[in-house]
Amino acid sequence: MINALEAGDGRVTIIDQSRLPLEEIRLEIRTVQEMAEAITEMKLRGAPLIGVAAAYGMVLALNGSASGPAEMEALYDLSEMLLASTRPTAVNLFWALARMRESFNEVRGSDLETIRSHLRVAADRLYREDIDVNMAIGVNGSTLFEGAVEIMTICNAGALATCGYGTALGVIRRLHQEGRISNVWVCETRPVLQGARLTTWELHQDGIPYTLITDSMAAQVMKSHSVAGVIAGADRVAANGDTANKIGTLGLSILAAHYGIPFYVAAPLSTVDMKVDNGGGITIEERRGDEIRVVNGRHITVPGSPVYNPAFDVAPNQHISAIITEKGIARNPYFDSFQALFAGA
């Protein structure tokens, strides 16, 4: 299994995803500031992985010195705020920080080593849970397809975006294990090319057949090939099923609806934000213009060209055939489906 993140004593080692697929470089992160930078600069990315990375970031935060309980709590609060500011769209970040806050409160007032050890146990638990969740998503999602199939996906919702196995790619991996993947159509996913750089790398590693396409080719592929379904990951799912995911997901959902192709979202229940009624309440991160203007260190347009660079868009619930979670498959009306899944959890 691809390990995008590994925790050690006083450090966390990650694959620098900004360098893939041409260079497989591992970075050692030893401070909460370095973790925040790695998340912001997308050296690690993917909603589930961001959440777990932030959990380990809180462990690293307490590697520093703290003379007493008051100073320790102040350090914890500042570190939590720093990590919370890195990526506003992915709800798993805030979910994981909330889980870590609960663990911190359980031992508040204890000595530094006790608190640090307790937080490390909590972060390790989140790591293991994520892998189990992803594998369950894969099993549940595979039941939606019959026979050998062609699947389309966007961005990277695989082992590199999680602690292992993946969400959207978890379903694809399960289908491949069952001998039922004939081809995966991988959208390149401009501007950062997570599909071209990361998803193809993962599929190649596992020997899963795939074909890379530019984002603008998706409609032609849907029109001329037997695509059994589109599977996307998610960074935040509203209570009504509206789903924020990597930019381009909205367009794919519209195309899939036009061609009568099922459009599925694969995401853990931790990505469902029942506090947000619909997609209009999801904050969409905007990133720097050079992600579009510059490729491999070279300008591909007029330097300084005005740029609009939203990192995510929102697919409306009416375009989503089902949302695949670790506890089962949710369908419209999503609010009721989610309530039932959470009750069963």
Residues sharing a CB contact under 8 Å with residue 55, sequence separation 6 or more, in sequence order: 96, 97, 99, 100, 119, 122, 123, 126, 127
Please say if the pLDDT value at position 329 is more than 90: yes
Please say if the pLDDT value at position 31 is more than 80: yes
Confidence of residue 70 (pLDDT cuts 50, 70, 90): confident
Report percent pLDDT > 70 for the chain. Answer: 99
| Predicted pLDDT at 66 | 63
Would residue 313 show up in a list of annotated catalytic residues for this protein? Answer: no
Backbone angles phi and psi of 180, in degrees to 5: -120, 15
| Predicted pLDDT at 113 | 87
CA 336 to chain centre: 24
Backbone angles phi and psi of 179, in degrees to 5: 75, 35
Q: Which of 130, 215, 235, 242 is catalytic?
A: 235
| Predicted pLDDT at 109 | 84
Taking only the tens place, the pLDDT of each residue in 230-279 is 999 999 999 999 999 999 999 999 999 999 999 999 999 999 999 999 99
Please say if the pLDDT value at position 64 is more than 70: no
Distance CA 197, CA 192 (A): 9
For residues 189 and 312, the answer to whether their CB atoms sit within 8 Å is no
Q: What pTM was computed for the model?
A: 0.94
CA 275 to chain centre: 19
| Predicted pLDDT at 232 | 98
3-class SS of residue 3: coil
If you average pLDDT over every residue of the chain, what do you get? 95
Distance CA 158, CA 319 (A): 23
- Mean pLDDT of all residues in 323-327: 98
Cis ω for the linkage preceding 69 (within 30 of 0): no
Please say if the pLDDT value at position 212 is more than 80: yes
- How buried is 208 (Cβ within 10 angstroms: 0-12 exposed, 13-18 middle, 19+ buried)? buried
Residue of 265, 276, 247, 282 lying closest to 329 (CA atoms): 265
Report percent pLDDT > 90 for the chain. Answer: 91
Taking only the tens place, the pLDDT of each residue in 172-182 is 999 999 999 99
Confidence of residue 65 (pLDDT cuts 50, 70, 90): low
Q: At what angle do helices 112-142 and 47-61 cross, to 10 degrees?
A: 170
| Predicted pLDDT at 69 | 75
Residues sharing a CB contact under 8 Å with residue 208, sequence separation 6 or more, in sequence order: 172, 173, 176, 181, 184
Which of these ranges, 41-50, 71-80, 133-142, 225-234, has the smallest mean pLDDT? 71-80
